[in-house]
A = this chain, B = another copy of it.
Amino acid sequence: MEISSERLGDHSPATGPGSRGRYPKGVRRRQEIIDRSIEVFADVGFEGASLRALGEAIGVSHAALRRYFETREELFLEVLREKDRRTIFETPDGIYGALRLAEGLVEYATQVPGLMALRHSMVARALESGNEHSKRFFVDRYAAVREELAHHLSAARDEGIVRSDIPLDAMTALVVGALDGLSTQWLLDPSVDIYRGIDLLEGLLRPAVTHPLVS
């Protein structure tokens, strides 16, 4: 989807000589930092992922990282952006299931454990006044996720899988929120069956065949 790639697309290098665009090597290095960072998060969690630890894993000093990211916060946001790009926004449109995206969102949680902790931590920052970059990131991110989901739900409505008498925007916010909240509970305590919760929500959103709500 265009909106997704636009909202969550690549950014130019943080600092550049002059201001004339992108620099292949710098961009590549920047991407390498992001990729390696994800691995480090998987290894030691985000709390152990100090700039010095990150630099050591990559083979550079911590100061070098700041050539590509103005601040630690910026680097972490790019890590989350990359993670979103890989999981949520690469899902093909309109697979059979409506809440197919749900599995993507859940998968998001399970794949690299440290990234969920990182996400919560960065949301925490975004909720505090003064961290405008984080705030903007998540405001846009959730808007993009909702829009992506709206696309899927709309298709699901055409297939008769999802009720048509519910406003899309309210539905998307609810579904995204439910998936987020269920994921958190499940990550904390695996005995909370997240899939039962998702199935329940999916059932609630399905057109009630036993009642004459929809013809």
Which residue numbers of A lie inside 8 Å of B, CB to CB?
Answer: 45-47, 113-114, 116-121, 123-130, 135, 138-139, 142-143, 165-167, 170-171, 173-174, 176-185, 187-189, 192-194, 196-197, 200-201, 204-205, 208-209, 211-215
Contacts and interface: CB of A to CB of B under 8 A. Distances in A.
B176 A179 contact: no
19 contacts: A45-B129, A46-B124, A117-B125, A121-B124, A127-B188, A143-B189, A165-B212, A166-B200, A170-B193, A170-B196, A173-B192, A174-B178, A174-B197, A176-B181, A176-B185, A177-B180, A177-B183, A178-B178, A181-B181
Contact of A167 (B121, B181, B214): B214
How often does this chain occur in the complex, in copies? 2
Given A182-B177, A197-B173, A188 B124 contact: no
Given A165-B212, A213-B166, A127 B187 contact: yes
B117 A120 contact: no
Nearest to A166: B213
A180 to B, nearest CB: 4
Nearest to A171: B200
A188 to B, nearest CB: 5
Contacts of A167: 196, 200, 214-215
A121 to B, nearest CB: 4
A109 to B, nearest CB: 9
